[in-house]
Chain A
Amino acid sequence: QQQVKQSPQSLIVQKGGISIINCAYENTAFDYFPWYQQFPGKGPALLIAIRPDVSEKKEGRFTISFNKSAKQFSLHIMDSQPGDSATYFCAASNRGSTLGRLYFGRGTQLTVWP
């Protein structure tokens, strides 16, 4: 059972546009929501993370929006660039999960056209 559901599976955006990736979860015990970026042949790298006590977190062109009541969170990439082309994974964990284990979404392959 997928603990974190992610959509879309793939996304094509024009350079300068906004990329939006959505995730949803059911486990209300989740209280840490990171996003990871992965380039081909590399391991994932932490991009940005949010805790449920805030509704939005922004770091440069990357913003996480969090809706606790809807149990949804999303990643917005403003002014998308070709260098942003990668696979993005949302994830979640909670205090009770095994040693901070992360539950990952299925990933979104983002392609930004120049």
Chain B
Amino acid sequence: GAVVSQHPSWVICKSGTSVKIECRSLDFQATTMFWYRQFPKQSLMLMATSNEGSKATYEQGVEKDKFLINHASLTLSTLTVTSAHPEDSSFYICSARDVRSSYNSPLHFGNGTRLTVT
């Protein structure tokens, strides 16, 4: 089945530093990947839509300069949390859909990255 690999699975960083999270589609290509943020016992909040070869589309209220997204290839998207602060601590999850599939086909999720900023 389609697999989305997310790395790292957890990371602890100091306030003010930057952290990069990778999202890879292992056995399919994806022109679009979605990045979510999830707080404990809450729903998934879409942060941005990553588009291969072009700029990401950010949801309202999400700071573009703080959450840098790069989708350099059909199998890799990265989210960089710049100048991280404790309030950025959260569970970040990416998802992707096979480029050959339609909009109403399964969206595959990575296993998430637990970010803790101290």
In the complex, whether A79 has a CB less than 8 A from a CB of chain B is no
The interface residues of chain A lying within 8 Å CB-to-CB of B51 are 99
Q: How far is the CB of A10 from chain B (nearest CB, A)?
A: 9
Residues of A with C-beta under 8 A to B107: 34, 46, 100, 102
Interface residues in A60-107 by Cβ distance below 8 A to B read: 87, 89, 93-95, 97-102, 104-107
Interface centre among A32, A36, A99, A106 (most CB of B within 10 A): A99
Set of chain A residues within 8 Å of B93, measured between Cβ atoms: 43-44
Q: In the bound complex, do residue B109 and residue A44 qualify as a contact, i.e. CB atoms below 8 Å apart?
A: yes
Residue of A nearest to B32 (CB): A99
Q: Which of B41-49, B66-74, B81-89 contacts A (4 or more CB under 8 A)?
A: B41-49
Is A99 a contact of B44 with CB atoms below 8 Å?
no
CA distance A101 to B95 in the complex (A): 10
CA distance A101 to B111 in the complex (A): 19
B108 smallest CB distance to A (angstroms): 8
| Number of chain A residues close to chain B: CB under 8 A | 28
Is the CB of A49 closer than 8 A to any CB of chain B?
A: yes
Task: Note all chain B residues with C-beta closer than 8 A to A34.
Answer: 106-107
B64 at the interface (CB under 8 A from A): no
Across-interface contacts of A31 in B (CB, < 8 A): 104
Q: Give 22 A-B contacts (CB < 8 Å), ordered by A residue.
A: A32-B104, A41-B112, A42-B111, A43-B4, A43-B6, A43-B95, A43-B109, A43-B112, A44-B109, A46-B106, A49-B104, A49-B106, A89-B43, A89-B44, A94-B103, A98-B57, A99-B103, A100-B32, A100-B102, A100-B103, A101-B46, A101-B49
* Nearest 7 pairs of A and B residues by beta carbon: A100-B103, A32-B104, A43-B109, A99-B32, A106-B43, A43-B111, A43-B112
